[in-house]
Chains A and B, each alone.
Chain A
């Protein structure tokens, strides 16, 4: 397999793609947002339950390519137990890693490091970002008092 592909589809990414975390739908979510990537038709539904200002439960249902599904699955692991401010920091760090920029602050990336290979495939960055922009838009809407929303990457 050509080398850049191994960089893109790292084992961790393929594992998240095959066994995505947090697919169980949440009842009575505190925040729910749908995201779409019209270019490729990827769709995502993301919901959160908060407890004392921290993310208690996350659900991500993603219909899409390996990169968007894996990124959404990693999101589930990465933001559980985090405050909304920490969640924003992680999302910013994911954006940085996809653009090949230095990480903004000390953020524990864990599996998310595996997304670094996407930066060599510019057309795929949107795939990796879909769940994160859906998350951040949802949080922003929540802070403005909106519980359900729709996000498009266009």
Chain B
């Protein structure tokens, strides 16, 4: 996949030569120069999905324009190129998350499907009455509902690691919760509501000592900080391309090879088989055993430059930039005096996602008002209804940052919040 020179060059400039400069990065994202309601777009809904750089958009275009074919089957040139694009992207993912084997990188539709793969394939065949599934109170529905359904089907029991009032996991009863009956622990690395970064390594270690498998929902962490899945030692790690500059419709399940080998396939069909007879079939080897049907080849091809872009910036630099933005945002939002801000107050303990409520204005009204100021934030329960209940709110406003956001964007958010206050206070 050839990408035009200039966007490649600007990545290099942003990443290496000029240091981390969000203004230069911004210029690589065509959508960020558009206007909303006559104002320059300030995009602060990155926890939902991120915008795409020119190189990703071009790669998608280039794939369908010049290389489109089905993978792993054709002998012709295009099929070879499409296969190379798909498997090249897999290699990049494997490198990006800490140098794992490509057999351990399974492409799915999204993070949700990756978690479902484990719940269906491993869960249905291994869980029963008396077994325990451990989750936390801050899970996204994607890492909640598959386990609720699994528990209902198998008779396994669900237990939750609680959160404290500052938005941290309360680990005081971890030994009791992760009992010897625990068969799987599934938890988020970074909360999509509170921003909390969880100490997953120590929790995973305890779970492993109890003989449980572990799954980390890394949808919010891998895009925003250095994550080495080998260091985490999780058995499964799930995340999505579209939250890290890539296209929608492609997600990743990392799984340890020996465990994946023991598991039944999830989706049956073409590409995932070795040999099929009228009454039996044997399975392809990893990772294709779990990739039944034509995969999202164009999506994989376009995910590769997204990974290049982030690698070019360096995930340490991405994380440093976000800590700077969080510190600034927490400071400015606290100074407004009218907000209840959720999650840890220490920027080192959290990602660039800040949820809050205004004491006077409902989140939906705030979202509408902010939108007319060109500021895109999210209002709602953020697919975490049990957490909302735990926080005692029906919805929150959520601002979430990424590499192209600046302090100026946060100023625009704050100005719009002030305007909303004036409007609701005086109207």
Give 14 CB contacts A-B under 8 Å.
A1-B422, A2-B372, A4-B37, A4-B372, A5-B423, A9-B365, A9-B423, A39-B380, A40-B381, A42-B394, A65-B363, A65-B364, A65-B365, A127-B364
Residues of B within 8 A of A41 (CB): 380-381, 385, 388, 394-395
A5 touches B369 (CB 8 A): yes
Q: B28: shortest Cβ distance to chain A, in Å?
A: 29
**Residues 61-110 of A at the B interface (beta carbon under 8 Å):** 63-67
Which B residues touch A123, using CB under 8 A? Answer: 368
Judge if A119 is at the interface, Cβ distance under 8 Å: no
Interface residues on chain A, number (Cβ under 8 Å): 22
Q: Are A40 and B363 in contact, with the CB atoms below 8 A?
A: yes
Docked pose: A67 CA to B424 CA in angstroms: 13
Q: Does A43 have its Cβ within 8 Å of any Cβ on chain B?
A: yes
Closest-by-CB residue of A relative to B393 is A41
Report the separation of the CA atoms of residues A123 and B368 in the bound assembly, to the nearest whole angstrom: 9
- Is A65 within 8 A of B362, CB to CB? yes
B394:A2 contact, CB within 8 angstroms = no
Whose C-beta in chain A lies nearest to the C-beta of B367?
A: A123
* Chain B positions within 8 Å of A11 at CB level: 427
Q: A40-B395, A43-B394, A121-B368 are in contact. Are A14 and B427 (CB under 8 A)?
A: yes
Q: Mark A32-53, 1 if CB is under 8 A from B, else 0.
A: 0000000111110000000000
**Complex: A40 Cα to B37 Cα, angstroms:** 23
Report A1-38 CB contacts with B as 1/0, cut-off 8 Å: 11011001101001000000000000000000000000
User: How far is it, in angstroms, between the C-alpha of A42 and the C-alpha of B364 when the chains are bound?
Assistant: 10
Q: Does A54 lie at the interface of the complex (its beta carbon under 8 Å from any beta carbon of B)? A: no
Cross-chain contact B380 with A40 (CB below 8 angstroms): yes
List B residues at the A interface (Cβ < 8 Å).
37, 361-365, 368-369, 372-373, 379-381, 385, 388, 394-395, 419, 422-424, 427
Contact B380 A1 (CB under 8 A): no
User: Are B427 and A9 in contact, with the CB atoms below 8 A?
Assistant: yes
Report A-chain residues with C-beta under 8 Å of the C-beta of B37.
Answer: 2, 4
Residues of A within 8 A of B424 (CB): 14, 66
Which residue on chain A has the smallest CB distance to residue B388?
A: A41
Which residue of chain A lies nearest to B364 when distances are taken between CB atoms in the complex?
A65
- CB-CB under 8 A from B362, the residues of chain A are 64-66
A1, A8, A9 — which one has the most chain B CB atoms within 10 A of its CB? Answer: A1
Residues on A with C-beta less than 8 A from B380 are 39-41
Which 4 residue pairs are nearest across A and B when measured between Cβ atoms?
A41-B394, A65-B362, A65-B364, A41-B395
Return chain A residues, CB-CB under 8 Å to B381. 40-41
User: Are A66 and B365 neighbours in the complex by a CB distance under 8 Å?
Assistant: yes
Residues of B within 8 A of A5 (CB): 368-369, 372, 423
Query: In the bound complex, how far is the Cα of B37 from the Cα of A44, in angstroms?
Result: 32
- The answer to whether residues A124 and B373 also contact, given A2-B37, A41-B380 and a CB cut-off of 8 A, is no
On chain B, the residues within 8 Å of A9 by CB distance are: 365, 423, 427
Q: Which of B368, B385, B395, B422 contacts A8 (CB 8 A)?
A: B368
Nearest chain B residue, comparing its CB with the CB of A1? B423
Q: How far is the CB of A42 from chain B (nearest CB, A)?
A: 7
Among the listed A39, A43, A64, A124, which residue makes an inter-chain contact with B368, where contact means beta carbons less than 8 Å apart? A124
What is the CA–CA distance of A65 and B362 in the complex, to the nearest angstrom?
A: 5
With CB as the reference atom, state the residue of chain A lying closest to B396: A41
- When distances are taken between beta carbons in the complex, the residues of chain B under 8 Å from A1 are 419, 422-423, 427
Select the residue from B365, B369, B372 with max chain A CB neighbours within 10 A.
B365
| A4 neighbours in B (Cβ, 8 Å) | 37, 372
Q: Which residues of A (107-154) have their CB < 8 Å from a CB of B?
A: 121, 123-124, 127
Is A63 a contact partner of B394 (Cβ separation < 8 A)? yes
- With a cutoff of 8 Å between Cβ atoms, the chain A residues found around residue B369 in the complex are 5
**What residues of B have a CB within 8 angstroms of the CB of A43 in the complex?**
394
Chain A min CB distance to B329 (Å): 23
Chain B residues with Cβ below 8 Å from A40 are: 363-364, 379-381, 394-395
- A14 and B365 CA atoms in complex are apart in Å by 12
Bound form: Cα–Cα A32–B369 in Å: 33
